[in-house]
Structure 1
């Protein structure tokens, strides 16, 4: 379906100037000839084609470029999934089977060994092999599933920091992230990571929360919304005017430099520190 749409756009790009000049010539000879000289009509023709090109054809080019980018992203995702499946097969056929064979050998050793120390060591080795085998099986299962935005390499430290923050506070943590990595530039990732990290540190130091959330959501037109939310004590007055509280000010300044909207406010039971990038259509 995508290729058929691309072909249609290409044909429209090729035919639009021809159809435009044909319609102009027909209109000129059928309706405008008594009012428009031949010389003036010939003079206007290229400008009319140019005007139509700038309005219609450039729009078609943008649609074609968007379609090609989407196709490249799809191809990259397909290649990544195939690579993950290949790695999963290698793990299953190699490491997983070797660990199973090692466990069988340890069982044989345990049955034939006379020394209690040897039996104890064999049992410890068997438990280690079992744990490694479980880890490998889980890794295989993860590789066989399509990758999600929340598993992107640059996002993992944010999820781990949320877990550390929740551990210090003995709080419930939830990480909801649906922003594809392709939506963000390298600079945006750096700035977003720094801002969310500072917001989580702020929660750890001041919030005394029992629930902490990190949310990243895509919005129309290439925009996104990211927030750190908690049910802690909230702000005492305007957080931007608090003395010796520089974290939120740093986040606000970073957001302003890159063109994002920043807000820090109480919404119901939650304190929400939010960053938002407007979409192209906004």
Structure 2
């Protein structure tokens, strides 16, 4: 039943009820029911009919409104995911394409260090594949049971669970509205890089992805119980993945820290005073 039909039923049912009651009373019940009693019974019948029919119609309107709100929310999510996908495509994916082209030319002109060039080219290809997969994932329909823009992280965690013996625990409390499209792209990239670093280097068994909020600020932590890191590699920039995370955080005016406490490595990204 359409909204227009429901609206007209709500408007006409009380009027029809009074009309039918008055007709029946004057045609058939007038010898048995006094005028005063009939006047008292009229609102009673309207109330009974309203309870029987109008409440059902109101429930249908509420259900239709909920469906409409869900559709609007899903549309907004898809628009947001499309924005993020466009930023990935226009920025990272195109940069990787040109970098790959430059590497190909370098490989043709200089064959003395072919092994290093081949490794670098393979790394670019893998990163390019990841970006394209992220774009495709963002353009798919959202899963209503999860945070839409974090689905690529969920997919990575599921893949790491399948390939390794790591256990993951995720606690997310940052409202989606608290992050702009650009912030989502950058924070997502930092989280993915941290998880991939844990997979490649940490030999960890347990990983926690946790967030906290305070006022307009927030904190995101990726914690693992792996073998740790060499502080010198972090300070002098020898670890490109760590440097990339630092640069992304600095570009967004976020605070980035990596520390080793109680047998755990903690990568922390913080915005504001959280």
TM-score calculated relative to the size of structure 2: 0.52
Q: Deviations over 1:145-196 (max 9, x none)?
A: 212357656998799589749965xxxxxxxxxxxxxxxxxxxxxxxxxxxx
The superposition leaves residues 227-250 of structure 1 with CA deviations (integer Å, 9 ceiling, x where unpaired) of xxxxxxxxxxxxxxxxxxxxxxxx
CA 1:37/1:162 → structure 2, altered by over 3 Å: closer, same or farther? farther
**Structure 2: how far apart are the matches of 1:75 and 1:93?**
27
2:94 to 73, 97, 115: 97
Structure 1 unaligned segments of length 5 or more: list them. 169-282
Aligned to 1:39: 36
**Match for residue 126 of structure 1 among 106, 109, 121:** 121
| Partner residue of 1:66 out of 63, 88, 91 | 63
d(CA) in 2 for partners of 1:77 and 1:108?
Answer: 45
Q: Map residues 183-222 of structure 1 onto 2, 5 A cutoff.
A: none
| Aligned equivalents of 2:90, 2:155: Cα separation in 1 | 33
User: For 1:33 and 1:162, how far apart are their aligned partners in 2?
Assistant: 80
TM-score (norm 1): 0.51
Q: Which residue of 1 aligns with 2:143?
A: 148
Q: Shift of the alpha carbon at 1:94? A: 2.5
Q: Measured at CA, do residues 127 and 165 of structure 1 come closer, stay the same or move farther in structure 2, by a change above 3 Å? A: closer
Q: 1:135 aligns with which of 118, 122, 130?
A: 130
Distance 1:56 1:144, change over 3 A: same
**What residue ranges of structure 2 are gaps of 5+ in the alignment?**
166-274
Helix, strand or coil at the partner of 1:148: coil
The aligned length equals 164
- 2:107 and 2:154 map into 1 onto residues whose CA distance is 42
Residue aligning to 2:12? 15
Could you say which residue in structure 1 is the equivalent of 2:182? none
Residue deviations 1:69-115, cap 9 Å, x none?
Answer: 01110111122223223332332232211101001111222233365
Check 1:73–1:56 CA distance in 2 against 1; reply closer, same or farther (3 A cut). same
Measured in 2, the distance between the counterparts of 1:101 and 1:158 equals 28
Residue by residue over 1:121-153, the C-alpha shift from the partner in whole angstroms, topping out at 9 and shown as x without a partner, is 333221111111000111111122212357656
Query: How do 1:73-112 residues align onto structure 2 when only pairs under 5 Å count?
Result: 73-112=70-109
CA distance 1:70–1:157, shift in 2 (3 Å): same
In structure 2, the partner of 1:25 is 22
User: What RMSD, in angstroms, separates the aligned Cα atoms of the two structures?
Assistant: 3.2
